[in-house]
Chain A
């Protein structure tokens, strides 16, 4: 894949800074994986279920959402619905990545499992197609390793303590707050967030547990109008 004048990717000095950035990011996300592990067992999932979720689902926000809804007594359908709403954006990332990921069907099916926020962001930030491919696969592999290692550590540790004593029941919402902050940079996202939050609180006393999360997604209709019509 590389041209004759280019060294193999892992020996390519020009790719080194990007790989360091990808590793740093992945290790940081691994620490978040620890929080997922703790929060998931605190919400009633077993260690094995918690690890299986990270290995198989492998998209953070959806995992947190599903476990959080089940933990507060929500139904199967509402837990699944809320989590899948959050997973939908990976489909859009896939559309963006499809031009950058080439190879056999099996390789692209594998790439699909790694197509999430971080891998897409690191890849599209690179200047040329080769660096984009390396960033995608390198971040994907590192992230998969650290996320699942972190989950295992968190699940085992969380199993051994009472979560409310250490305030760990707010690990979910506090983590969500941190995830939310970078998303609120434009006016339209802030409007959608405000509507989503208000709809949820209004719906909590009058709908079954989990349904308020589904209803909050109606706030995305803010996006129907063209951006020029929204003050930013």
Chain B
């Protein structure tokens, strides 16, 4: 009895996965994880440009995303800035310039076509 239930659960999960893979193959897009998180997050997207002597809020979020993408990596790092709390830092080591993003801003960036 127990084995039959396990198999049923597995089969339903596999059928769901097969369905998603079929959709992906025919380029039918379903909201990805980043998009879901972005939509559920009620904060305002925030991008802070970090310069050697000041922090500067970037209101042009798409440009911020492209510039952040050009850095070596983005990592989870919570920082308190004058513009609000950020959770992600994108920076190349040795660079004077970096980008701080809150989760909403980061998940917005991950939906852009140039973000792999």
Q: Do A and B bind each other?
A: no
Q: Which residue numbers of B lie inside 8 Å of A, CB to CB?
A: none
Q: Which residue numbers of A lie inside 8 Å of B, CB to CB?
A: none
